[in-house]
Chains A and B, each alone.
Chain A
Amino acid sequence: MTEVWQNQIRRALLALAPIALALGFTGGILVLAGAPPLLTYEKLIMGSLGTAVKRADVLVIWVSLATCAAGLLVTFTAGQWNIGVEGQIVLGAIFATWAGRVLLEQPGAVAIPAMVGWGLVGGAFWGLLVGLLKIYGRVHEIFGGLGLNFVATALNIYLIFGPWKQRTGGTLSGTTIFPESLWLPTLPGLRLSILSIVIALVIVSAVSLSLRGTVWGLQLKAVGQNIRSAYILGLPTQRLMLSAFIVCGACAGLVGAYLVVGVHHRLVPSISSGYGFLSILIVLLSGFRALWTAPIALFFAAVNIGSTALQLDLQLDASLGGVLQSAIVLAVVLMQGVRERYLDARARPS
């Protein structure tokens, strides 16, 4: 009995160790910057959960992170590093804005679905390009994606300061704001749309189910584990890989469209806000388990909102939130290694 308990305690400690490590590391950074760590952590929590508006804002970010993470899960399952996800968000936003500009006079019920649909297409197209470059150009997906991120940024800046500039001239604030009829309806007094939450939940569940319970998901897993074996077994590896990039790109494009239709109501220069990269961290932290990505995304969204409060309350730069997020992921990844190498090895009889 005692041995069981010892094991339980040991496992709990091991699970908590990375969090403690990350909090300790970030605390050290805070001391270095001359800020009180405990007060900072308190503000971080209150700043994200203190009021209804804050809690709604957390959910607004959660929609983007959870959707994007679901898509990334697909490419990770296929063994691909889709760093181009940032560019795929941007392209989704650009396509959605384009659709909105064309359908400016139409009622929202026509224009909004069209904007979202075109966002999906834009992201999927940009994702497909990464896959095509990988398969036919022999460009590692990290560099193809990276290159396309830069192209997407350049295109976005070009549109904002060029053809789509405001009548008063191109500014960093973005394109002209869309009329309210083209905004995604939100809860009164909040920026949150129930519909967006529902869609995100549907996507997360759909990805989770199809990766676990469909032939496609199983085949993707085979490609991700060992592409040569998968090929020899007769799987259409190239088509599977492309399908993963298309699905992930579509999810990212949806996020881009959501940021235009539901959040900013216009195209802005840094429309992706780093959500794509953040989602990669979320998937890494989840250990590639779909059901874990949603709650982790919620935590990350809360840290994002909480860290903006730090700027107002303690004059601390909001980038602290990003340090904390990535420190936790790094600590978890390293601790897994430590456990495998030093602790499990000792437990095993030799």
Chain B
Amino acid sequence: MSVFLATLASILSDSAPIVFAGLGETLNERAGVINLSVEGTMLLSAMTGFAVAYTTGSLVLGFAAAAAVGALVALIVAFGSITLKRDQVAIGFILTLMLGELSSFLGVPFVRVPGPAVQPLPIPVLKDLPILGPLLFNQDPVTYLSFSLILVMWWWFYKTQPGLKLRGVGERPEAAFARGVNVKLQRYLYTLIGGALIGLGGAAYSLHVKLGWSHRHTAGFGWIALAIVIFGGWDPLKVTLGAYLFGGLRALATTLQALVPGLPVQVFPLLPFPLMILTLILFNSEALDRVLSLLPPRWQRALMGILRSNPPAALGTHFEP
């Protein structure tokens, strides 16, 4: 049991980068802006976060620099797509390639240098709670931050007035505009915050999960974060669930490595990626529709609610009042 709990606890902790990046992307997509540069942003911010923390000796500065990098990249996406009305996907894709190469170029002096890492911070008393203690309260500050972000995001989306405005901007910008909401300003704001969160995800990777820096350090996690936003139906709780599921798949791949002798070891780390995306495909397929249609209507509705949700109606579109 304790081994099982320890594995779960490490999945929660190792998923922090994807939680940050996935929730950041959820935020800007709910406002109607696709930031496709997640993989590139995470690479550059992982490198910057590590480099700053290494040279200044301050983890906080490292995370702050990473968030600033994320926000800066998001500013380019926002300016290009909201103000200049260029294709969001094109800009994000170009940025992904550019920032990936840039992180490799600027990161050379930091390759495989041992450096600072986030230290564990068990919370006294709470950590001794049965089950929940070791899972939730025997972690480090970055993991705690990821937990609180989930709650804050959910509360902001569904329980506050500005959250309602945010969803309106992503669903019906014309209607929001008619009610006096500054659509472009809102979109800028949430794209920037989303970008900063993606940046934090990058630093969480290099300072908390896979310590240090190497060429292409984040190994496709940014792409996975993008896929998980769809998987989670643009809902903070379900996106988080997707992130943990992916973390679980990765842990499972490591365990299976010892149990399946026929497969070369090099294949296992890759398996969670196609599995995650194939699950996404399954959830979206017409085949699932047919299976669901066999069930009684009440079940159908409930399952549909869990498994499928539609993207924000104005996602990726330009808005001109």
Which partner residue on chain A sits nearest B289 by CB separation? A138
Given contacts A284-B94, A323-B105, contact A336 B86 (CB under 8 A): yes
Which partner residue on chain B sits nearest A284 by CB separation? B90
The stretch of B179-187, B192-200, B275-283 in contact with A is: B275-283
Bound-complex Cα distance A161 to B87 (A): 40
Contact A337 B98 (CB under 8 A): no
Which partner residue on chain B sits nearest A332 by CB separation? B94
Contact A161 B266 (CB under 8 A): yes
Bound-complex Cα distance A214 to B287 (A): 36
A55 → B minimal CB distance (Å) = 24
Contact A337 B85 (CB under 8 A): yes
Please classify the interface of chain B as helix (H, G, I), strand (E, B), loop, or mixed, using the class held by over half of its residues. helix
Contact B101 A157 (CB under 8 A): no
The stretch of A6-14, A100-108, A140-148 in contact with B is: A140-148
**Is B147 interfacial (CB-CB < 8 Å)?**
no
Contact A281 B97 (CB under 8 A): yes
**Is A348 interfacial (CB-CB < 8 Å)?**
no
Kindly name the residue among B90, B101, B263, B273 whose own CB sees the greatest number of chain A CB atoms within 10 A: B101
Bound-complex Cα distance A140 to B310 (A): 13
Kindly name the residue among B226, B270, B271 whose own CB sees the greatest number of chain A CB atoms within 10 A: B270
Q: Find chain A residues with CB under 8 A from B270 CB.
A: 150, 153-154, 157
Given contacts A136-B286, A146-B227, A330-B91, contact A29 B86 (CB under 8 A): no
**Is B23 interfacial (CB-CB < 8 Å)?**
no
Which partner residue on chain B sits nearest A155 by CB separation? B267
Given contacts A81-B89, A146-B227, A336-B86, contact A320 B263 (CB under 8 A): no
Partner of B86, one of A32, A158, A281, A333: A333
Give the A interface residue count (CB, 8 A): 51
**Is A151 interfacial (CB-CB < 8 Å)?**
yes
Bound-complex Cα distance A142 to B265 (A): 28
**Is A170 interfacial (CB-CB < 8 Å)?**
yes
**Is A137 interfacial (CB-CB < 8 Å)?**
yes
Contact A337 B86 (CB under 8 A): yes
Bound-complex Cα distance A165 to B280 (A): 32
Interfacial residues of chain B within 83-140, with CB under 8 A of chain A in the complex = 83-87, 89-91, 93-95, 97-98, 100-102, 104-106, 108
Q: Find chain B residues with CB under 8 A from A36 CB.
A: none
Partner of B263, one of A150, A162, A316, A319: A162
Contact B98 A33 (CB under 8 A): no
B14 → A minimal CB distance (Å) = 19
B228 → A minimal CB distance (Å) = 11
**Is A322 interfacial (CB-CB < 8 Å)?**
yes
Contact with B along A7-45 (1 / 0, CB 8 A): 000000000000000000000010011000000000000
**Is A204 interfacial (CB-CB < 8 Å)?**
no
Contact B105 A29 (CB under 8 A): yes
Given contacts A150-B273, A150-B274, A158-B263, contact A337 B80 (CB under 8 A): yes
A346 → B minimal CB distance (Å) = 15
Bound-complex Cα distance A29 to B100 (A): 14
Partner of B80, one of A162, A165, A334: A334
Which partner residue on chain A sits nearest B216 by CB separation? A319
Contact A157 B267 (CB under 8 A): yes
**Is A317 interfacial (CB-CB < 8 Å)?**
yes
B278 → A minimal CB distance (Å) = 6
Interfacial residues of chain A within 322-346, with CB under 8 A of chain B in the complex = 322-323, 325-327, 329-330, 333-334, 336-338, 340-341
Q: Find chain A residues with CB under 8 A from B85 CB.
A: 337, 340-341
Given contacts A33-B106, A333-B80, A337-B85, contact A144 B98 (CB under 8 A): no
Which partner residue on chain B sits nearest A342 by CB separation? B84
Contact B264 A327 (CB under 8 A): no
Contact B264 A333 (CB under 8 A): no
Partner of A333, one of B94, B100, B105, B285: B94
Bound-complex Cα distance A29 to B83 (A): 26
Given contacts A137-B286, A338-B84, contact A143 B277 (CB under 8 A): yes
Partner of B286, one of A138, A277, A340: A138
Bound-complex Cα distance A33 to B108 (A): 9
Closest A-B pairs by Cβ, 4 of them: A337-B84, A147-B277, A322-B101, A161-B264
Add 4 more A-B contacts to A29-B106, A157-B266 (CB < 8 A). A136-B286, A147-B278, A317-B105, A319-B104
- What are 7 inter-chain pairs, A to B, with CB distance below 8 A? A143-B226, A154-B273, A322-B97, A322-B98, A326-B94, A334-B80, A337-B80
